Amino acid sequence: MPRIFFVGLLALSGLTGIQTGSAQQLGKIPRVGCLAIGTKDGKPPAAFLQGMRDLGYVEGKNIIIVYRGDPERKEDRLPGLAAELVELKVDVIVALDPPAARAASRATETIPIVMRSTADPVKAGLVASLAHPGGNVTGVTSISSELYGKRLELLKEVISPLSGVAVLRNPDRSASDFKEMNSAAWSLGLRLNSADVREAGDFEKAFKTARTARAQALITIRTPLINFYRKQVADLAIKSRLPAIYDERAYVEDGGLMSYGTSLDELHRHAAIFVDKILKGRKPADLPVERPMRFEFVVNLKAAKQIGLTILPNVLVRADRVIK
């Protein structure tokens, strides 16, 4: 199973200063605005910050980074936060998730935006095409919906026979993804049952729904809320004895069974490269949106033991990482 390759994001908390590229020639300290639905510690991802440091940017010395995010993960607050960054006249806005990218693109058509998206940015109307974005938005996307079939295949290899799979999702914002997943499930002879989560208090009820439907396994459709509570999701899956597969290894590191997808750390680090190029004079319209070329498969044998599941050697040998 290939490993991960990629990157994308920008963020930071606080202010700092420097001059770089064209901004340096003008004696101007670049200002980078970071927008997100909200992070657990109220700061940008560490991987993005490291990516910026690797490129020579030192907070407090050569760059100003301003973070705006709603800790309660309320999407309706993002437009106001995006407007704040526009009023601050930042040189670049880094949008850390699809809702933030949408809010930033609606707030400005002139300030460059570097996105990190798990959705299809073309379908979302953020760019004209991946190769030729054509506007003020570029960045990285994993388009994780294309991997639904592979995740279901892995579940089917691990659980035999497998017929019913619960889908942890927000039904208000996942109709298209659920349709794509259903198509993949049908081709594999699987039946999907929706386990709905709209707010933080819905997780226990969603897993009860999965048990009532006699689901044999669990898969997720990513949302900021589900990702924010990934430790709770992983714990509930173990408690319910439901083998689960996720789109990011952080779930497995938090006690989940398996994941298959891109490395968000790599995406975040790569976003820093986009920021650097833009600060040095490149236009977002001319910077193709990048996609991961490789993916990683991670297995947690401790979680498998907790639910009484044996992962066969022919599956384990394909894992990029095995947690014991």
pLDDT in tens, 257-298: 999 998 888 899 999 999 999 999 999 999 999 998 889 999
Reported CATH class of domain 21-142+263-286 = alpha beta
pLDDT score of 41? 62
pLDDT score of 298? 97
For 145-261+296-323, CATH number out of 3.40.50.2300, 3.40.50.300, 3.40.50.150, 3.30.428.10 equals: 3.40.50.2300
Confidence of residue 11 (pLDDT cuts 50, 70, 90): very low
List pLDDT tens digits, range 227-258.
Answer: 889 999 999 999 999 999 999 999 999 999 99
Confidence of residue 40 (pLDDT cuts 50, 70, 90): low
Q: Which position has the higher pLDDT, 225 or 13?
A: 225
Distance of CA 106 to the CA centre of its chain: 20
CATH 3.40.50.2300 residue ranges for the chain: 21-142+263-286, 145-261+296-323
pLDDT score of 162? 96
Tokens of 63: 């760059």
Residue 188 has pLDDT above 90, yes or no: yes
Confidence of residue 124 (pLDDT cuts 50, 70, 90): confident
Residue 8 has pLDDT above 80, yes or no: no
pLDDT score of 84? 95
Q: Is 56 left (phi over 0), alpha (psi -120 to 50) or beta?
A: left
pLDDT score of 198? 95
Q: What is the percentage of the chain residues whose pLDDT exceeds 90?
A: 73
Confidence of residue 18 (pLDDT cuts 50, 70, 90): very low
Residue 314 has pLDDT above 80, yes or no: yes
Q: Which position has the higher pLDDT, 186 or 225?
A: 186
Residue 143 has pLDDT above 80, yes or no: no
Q: What is the percentage of the chain residues whose pLDDT exceeds 70?
A: 90
Chain mean pLDDT for the chain: 88
